[in-house]
Amino acid sequence: MTKVPTTRIDRLLGSLGYGSRGQIAQIARARRIVLDGVPITDVARRIPMTPDLTERMTVHGAPLDPLPGVVVMLNKPPGYICSRKDSGPLVYDLLPDRWRHRKPMLSPVGRLDKETSGLLLLTDDGALLHRITSPNHAVEKTYRASLARPLEGHEVEVFASGALVLSGEKKPLHPAKLNVLSATEARLSITEGRYHQVRRMFAAVGNHVEALHREALGQLRLPDDLGEGAWVLLTEAEIASVFAK
């Protein structure tokens, strides 16, 4: 039988961003930390790190935040930056404020540039982050692009050729799938993550991307009912769909 790890309550809550050890002790003295219906007074008490803690423990009357290993899917609006330090609106502004202080911290799984919207994952699971972004796994990323000029008809073949070289680079891109939706709209699926890759691909064929929206990672799609700026926690099955072909 696998031994379940234990942790001190104040250490757990501190790692989830609820405050310093002293602040957590104050919360406990106010009887605002409750486990299995009983207020916790001794925050040095060790408890098993079981997944059901989020159902058994409340802090300030609300369920405990997700334990480490969390994966968030965010519908990123345009104008937000995938950074913790830049000035201007940040994707972290769309999450609960204390999540900025989680340890390990939540990091974007790949970045969307400031004006690109759509599906963005954030996680504190470094191994999962590496697995999704590693070229070895070739996770497909699907974007919907609105273009400044009508497509000329050769773009599908050019992008699928595996011979397109972006400006300033020497190595050709991997083959990509382009699905034309209208004269000025297209859906593009790529398996790489080079700097501003989609925008630069269309620039290479004489066009300009006016709006860009990421719809999917692998078979994980952005739900139609997840509005801009909204987020959800992913299940194990949803995480696995990222790697489905």
Catalytic residue positions, numbered: 113
Closest CA to 239 of 223, 222, 219, 210: 219
Pairing assessment for the beta strands 231-233 and 220-221 based on DSSP bridges: unpaired
Other CB atoms within a 10 A radius of the CB of residue 66 amount to: 17
Placement of tokens 């008490």 in the chain: 45
Q: Provide CB contacts within 8 A for 79, sequence distance 6+.
A: 88, 89, 114, 115
* Helices of type H across the chain: 9-15, 21-29, 53-56, 126-133, 155-160, 197-204, 236-241
In 31-167, DSSP assigns E strands to 33-35, 38-39, 46-48, 57-59, 62-63, 71-76, 107-108, 116-123, 141-147
Pairing assessment for the beta strands 107-108 and 71-76 based on DSSP bridges: unpaired
In single-letter form, the type of residue at position 114 comes to K
Cα–Cα distance, 193 to 211 (Å, whole number): 18
